[in-house]
Chains A and B, each alone.
Chain A
Amino acid sequence: MSAADFLNLFIAAVLLAGVYAAMSVGMTIIYGVMKIVNLAHAGFLMLGAYFVFEAYDRFKIDPLLGVLLAFPVFFFIGMGVHWLLVRRIATSDQPTLTSLLLLFGVWLVLQNLGYLIWGNSDRAILTPRTLSSVEIGPISFPTIRLAVFIVAVASLVGLEFILHKTWFGRSVRALMQNKEAGQIVGVNVNRTAQIAFGVGIAFAGAAGGLLAMLYSFNPDFGASFQLRAFVIIVLGGLESFGGVAVGSLILALAETFVILILPASYQPAIAFSLLVVALIVLPEGIAGLWAKRRRWA
């Protein structure tokens, strides 16, 4: 493999990692604040894809703009789902069976609503951007990947700003670190949980829109990405935002470079293999590794 090939693959992996991070961060917020594994994530990824598709198809809204629109729309959808269903179940400091099953039910409902509305044929979002590419010397990559990467990273920077500069962000971080202590200093747990759920779903919807620009999709679309998001947040230690970034990069690199040794049809199994390896080698994720380093130092 020449150096240019290697560089091309590496850049492809980094661009992919950006979308993966945007896709996984919503799951981390929800897990961090509520200790709920959002099994309905896949359903909202799928809805986000169709949202951006319909906006482009019917109203000629540019898909990148559509993704920005998806943030507020899915924020309110998420708040609604929390109000209607999620707030009714007991939470704990471990994910409860009830929450797993409830959100799994929500996923089934969303997925099959998708089948009911859009049928099972594959759709794709094709814009003039889809087929053009950027070339810098021997390196070339599709423009759309770069655009998606920029939107993904910008949204993550926006989230970082919210988490560190707003009262809501401070409440979220407080609850992630210690729920009881957060309550003692006056964090409204239910309110924060509802907004956090909304933000988590907003990111799921927007990430679904971003993924829809890169891949064709059908109502079953979210499932494999949901698994990837799981792997990423497990690699990242479940509730660390820095861990999500590193986890995304590891998974994207693994998936990109594995085609050198395995046929591409095995690619969907990579995420799972990485999950098993991560659980054996790094059960606390990469963030746990950092914590250990700090303890040793």
Chain B
Amino acid sequence: MGQEAPVGVKEGADSGGSSVSRFVSVVVPLLLLASLAALPLASPSPNIIRLLFVTLTLVTASVGWNLIGGFAGQISFGFAVFYGLGAYTTALSINGGVPPLIAFLLGAIVAAVASLLIGLPTFRLKGPYFAIATIGVSEAVRVVMMNVPFTGGASGYRIIDKTRFVQSHHYYTALVLAVLAVGISILVRRSKLGLALIAIREDQDAASDLGVNPFVAKLLVHALAAALAGAAGGVYARYALFIDPDGVFAFRNGVAILLMPIIGGVGTIWGPVIGAFVYGLIHEEVVANFPQAHLLIFGSLLILIILFEPGGVVGLFKKFMRSLRARSSVGSHS
């Protein structure tokens, strides 16, 4: 009855039995985190910090998307809405004199509330309604934001941040938020909610027969995902100091937030992080070198991943490890 062949890896990334996979899933992230945390001390060029800052906000949004898209299997094309609402809420709050941390929180809350507007009418139904509605909401919100007067409409909105600009503060904010997002992702994956979401992804009817309420579970995790994307948008807005509807609400942002977990490995803990780093670090180069064709390249990549390696980078890595192990066990027998 249910959906066949869902995208993604069936077992979680934390099911590593061997010492190698435990090393990969614990030590490597910690080493990466330590080097990211220490990086500003080495005083690299501001452009590298900026690139990593943007990448870290993308990690947050990507990990957020994976909660609903990867764990629960509900594809959303409209995460630009949450990102943009978070950005605008933070911008308005900072200009209203709210401290930045509270402003990010408000951004997250507004995004979470907005997620209910999409979730309430669509999550009750099975079928493609949610995915369709997310395409519509993206366009509708952008149109409305182009026309509302109090944020300057299409001409954008400027943030007047009275605190002194220190680039590394922004960088650490983004880093802490990204770590928080990954932490939430791990907690959700290990909780009863995470199991319920995966059950819904595999077979919604069977899940509800076993006492899972798909409507509530999807609504809850969608709000959580939206809050993360909203906070990411807020952190970005405070750094950018200027936002406009065509920038933050653009459909291509929603596309980017969807591409990253798929590149990395949808439905896993580390896939969305890897995907965000791959996308974040290369997409400016790709855009600079192929201004007309960069979405052509990412679109082709999406098709190739779906057809040949739905597990993304993580899936490829697992295949590689499996073939290594197979080869070494053959070696020991001979």
Contact = CB atoms under 8 A, between A and B. Distances in A.
Interface string B127-140: 11101110111011
Given A94-B3, A102-B307, A106-B303, 5 more contacts: A95-B131, A96-B5, A102-B303, A266-B143, A271-B140
A150 interface: no
Interface in A65-114: 85, 88-98, 100-102, 104-109, 111-113
A97 B139 contact: no
Contacts of A269: 139-140, 143-144
Contacts of B132: 37, 230, 234, 275
A168 to B, nearest CB: 25
Given A96-B3, A104-B77, A280-B121, A265 B296 contact: no
A96 B131 CA distance: 11
A271 B296 CA distance: 28
Contacts of A37: 128, 131-132
Interface in A93-151: 93-98, 100-102, 104-109, 111-113, 115-116
B127 to A, nearest CB: 6
| Interface residues on chain B, size class | 35 or more
Contact of B1 (A93, A266, A276): A93
Nearest to A88: B307
Contacts of B128: 37, 94-95, 100
B121 A101 contact: no
User: Would you call the interface of chain A mostly helix, strand, loop, or mixed?
Assistant: helix
B90 interface: no
Contacts of B126: 94
Interface centre among A224, A238, A266, A272 (most CB of B within 10 A): A272
Interface string B256-281: 00000010000000000000000000
A229 to B, nearest CB: 10
Contacts of A223: 139, 251
14 contacts: A89-B5, A90-B4, A93-B1, A95-B131, A102-B306, A108-B255, A109-B296, A109-B299, A116-B292, A226-B135, A266-B143, A273-B140, A276-B121, A283-B129
A116 B295 CA distance: 11
A181 interface: no
B116 interface: no
Interface centre among A105, A116, A283 (most CB of B within 10 A): A105
A284 to B, nearest CB: 9
B286 to A, nearest CB: 12
Interface residues of A, number: 49
B300 A275 contact: no
A96 B255 CA distance: 18
A271 B135 CA distance: 11
A95 B4 contact: no
B105 interface: no
A271 B143 CA distance: 12
A112 B131 contact: no
A227 B121 CA distance: 17
Contacts of B137: 272
Given A94-B126, A111-B295, A279-B122, A271 B136 contact: yes
A152 B265 CA distance: 44
Contacts of B292: 112, 115-116
Contact of A265 (B6, B125, B147, B310): B147
Given A96-B5, A101-B306, A108-B255, A231 B296 contact: no
B105 to A, nearest CB: 27
The 7 closest A-B pairs by CB, nearest first: A108-B299, A105-B302, A272-B140, A272-B136, A112-B296, A105-B303, A109-B299
A272 B35 CA distance: 45
Contacts of A98: 5-7, 306, 310
Contact of A116 (B135, B144, B296, B303): B296
